[in-house]
């Protein structure tokens, strides 16, 4: 990637490192049902919109109609709905083929690993532990760690600071246009992966650097381990 030397990789979690099997449609419809009871019919909430777009539209309406005092309560309830749905499916999480091997190779090359997710921290911690990826991760930034989750770049800045690397030495990896937008907003490099279930238009929005999965990431980045991997690394 333009001859850059990377010292850290920030990964999206769901559909990038793990198959979560979260019913995101269920989550979205619960959010829409709640918001329709709190907002006037004039606020269009289309279930074809992403959950991020739906919540953003609701908050923007409240803020532009002198209802800012309602925002904390509504955001809290939206988080509760999302957390309940996420935790319902924790036990179904499974590592995407090749993801653990890729992380082992990155760690063997001395790279730091961060996770950036719009899921709650409890869900992130539990799924990383259940899938055996937790010991390979240096830092996690979840929805409840930041007032403005991705695509706002705040989480990226927070991770970069904690991993003690410069933004020019960080690459972000994700399966969704929101991940690509977040990387762009933060001014860092981005690699898209095709392990999500998105259409042609969403894939196009991932940008020029696209891989089938994270399995190919070490080779794509030209990673060469600085130490010999042991059997324990792959356990």
pLDDT digits (tens, 9 = 90+) for 102-122: 999 999 999 999 999 999 999
Find out whether the peptide bond into 151 is cis, omega within 30 degrees of 0.
yes
Q: Which residue has the tokens 């920030």?
A: 10
Taking the C-alpha atoms of residue 83 and residue 123, their distance in angstroms, rounded to an integer, is 8
User: What CATH architecture does domain 8-19+94-234 belong to?
Assistant: 3-Layer(aba) Sandwich (3.40)
- pLDDT-derived band of residue 226, with 50, 70 and 90 as boundaries? low
Decide: 174 and 185 in contact? Cβ < 8 Å.
no
Could you tell me the pTM of the whole model?
A: 0.85
Q: Of residues 175 and 44, which shows the higher confidence score? A: 175
Beta bridge partners of 139: 114
DSSP state for residue 14 in the 8-state scheme: B
Q: How confident is the model at residue 229 (pLDDT cuts 50, 70, 90)?
A: very low
- Give Cα 228 distance to the centre of its chain: 30
Strand, helix or coil for residue 139: strand
pLDDT at 231: 46
Q: Which residues contact 195 (CB under 8 A, 6 or more apart)?
A: 15, 16, 19, 96, 175, 212, 213, 214
């Amino acid at each position: 990637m333009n001859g850059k030397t990377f010292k850290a990789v920030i990964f999206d979690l769901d559909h990038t490192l793990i198959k979560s099997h979260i019913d995101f449609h269920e989550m979205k419809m619960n959010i829409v049902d709640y918001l329709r009871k709190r907002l006037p019919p004039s606020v269009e909430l289309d279930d074809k919109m992403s959950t991020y777009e739906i919540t953003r539209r609701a908050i923007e309406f409240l803020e532009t109609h002198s209802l800012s005092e309602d925002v904390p309560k509504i955001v809290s309830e939206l988080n509760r709905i999302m957390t309940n749905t996420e935790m319902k499916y924790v036990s179904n999480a499974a590592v995407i083929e090749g993801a653990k091997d890729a992380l082992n190779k990155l760690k063997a090359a001395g790279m730091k690993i961060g996770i950036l997710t719009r899921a709650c921290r409890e869900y992130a911690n539990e799924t990383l532990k259940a899938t055996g990826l937790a010991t390979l991760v240096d830092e996690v930034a979840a929805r409840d760690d930041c007032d403005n989750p991705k695509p706002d770049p705040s989480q990226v800045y927070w991770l970069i600071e904690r991993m003690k690397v410069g933004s020019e030495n960080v690459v972000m990896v994700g399966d969704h246009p929101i991940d690509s937008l977040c990387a762009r907003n933060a001014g860092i490099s981005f690699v898209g992966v095709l392990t999500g279930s998105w259409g042609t238009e969403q894939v196009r929005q991932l940008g020029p650097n696209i891989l089938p999965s994270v399995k190919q990431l070490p080779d794509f980045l030209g990673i060469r381990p600085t130490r010999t991997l042991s059997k324990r690394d792959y356990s």
